Amino acid sequence: MNYIENIYLCLAAPIIVAIFCVRSFPRRSLGFILSGMTACLFSFYISTFFAQMTGATPLEASLEISPLIEEALKLTPVAFYVMVYEPKRNDAASEALMVAVGFATLENASFLLSSGADNTLHLMIRGFSTGAMHVACGAVTAVVLRGLWDTLYFRIIATLGVLCLSVTCHGIYNILVNQPNAAAWVGYMLPLLIGAGAIIARKKLYGTAPEYGPPREGLRGIQSTKEKQ
């Protein structure tokens, strides 16, 4: 039996307390980490439900059901944040990574309880590779959100496109790590390559601009200067 609910409560409790103790940006980031953990909890329930409905084995569920459900639930809080609050594109991109971090944290903790903590090397490989896979998919989401932001039509198309891309990457990872020998090591290295590619793409496409842009006072000053000229 997997006590994922108990793990969720233990990990979420200090985050909830911290949310009430901080303000502004740290509170928002902590909230998205918590939403990522919540998405992991619900994905466990939904994946188990569909696996039982379809009679899929655990391996079949991890290859055919889990990638779509997990990536869709990871994207949900980011999409809600974008549609309701219309934040700056850099803010939305950063919070997409926070959701992925929260999701990977709860998933790794659940795996630790179900598989035991006696094999340190296996846990390190699994923890880093799976965590990197979720963060890499979040990084891809962040890059796409930052790039296609100015037009509502592009936002909708980009959301659907990045969901398909994340599901594909997640599914390929699950297929490879369930294979023996060299194929599994290729799967373990795949998230690191995707994450590195996302970082390089961000630097090439967007440069090294400040993460949250200039303050509003600076924008008003620039506008007033132009009006005087």
Quote the pLDDT of residue 78: 83
**Residues whose CB is less than 8 angstroms from the CB of residue 143 and which lie 6 or more positions away in sequence, other chains included:** 93, 198, 201, 202, 205
Burial annotation 121-133 (CB, 10 A radius, 16+ → b, else e): eebeebbebbbbb
Quote the pLDDT of residue 1: 43
Quote the pLDDT of residue 210: 42
**Do residues 149 and 155 touch, judged by C-beta distance below 8 A?**
yes
C-alpha 54/C-alpha 48 separation (Å) is 10
pTM of the model: 0.78
C-alpha 18/C-alpha 222 separation (Å) is 37
pLDDT in tens, the chain (229 residues): 457 888 899 999 999 999 988 877 788 889 999 999 999 999 999 999 999 999 988 888 888 899 999 989 998 888 788 777 777 767 777 788 889 889 988 988 887 777 666 667 777 777 777 777 887 777 777 767 666 666 667 777 777 888 888 888 888 888 888 888 888 888 888 887 877 776 776 666 655 544 444 444 433 443 444 444 4
Domain ranges of the chain: 4-212
Q: Which residue has the tokens 């779509």?
A: 68
Of 67, 123, 82, 93, nearest to 212 (Cα)? Answer: 93
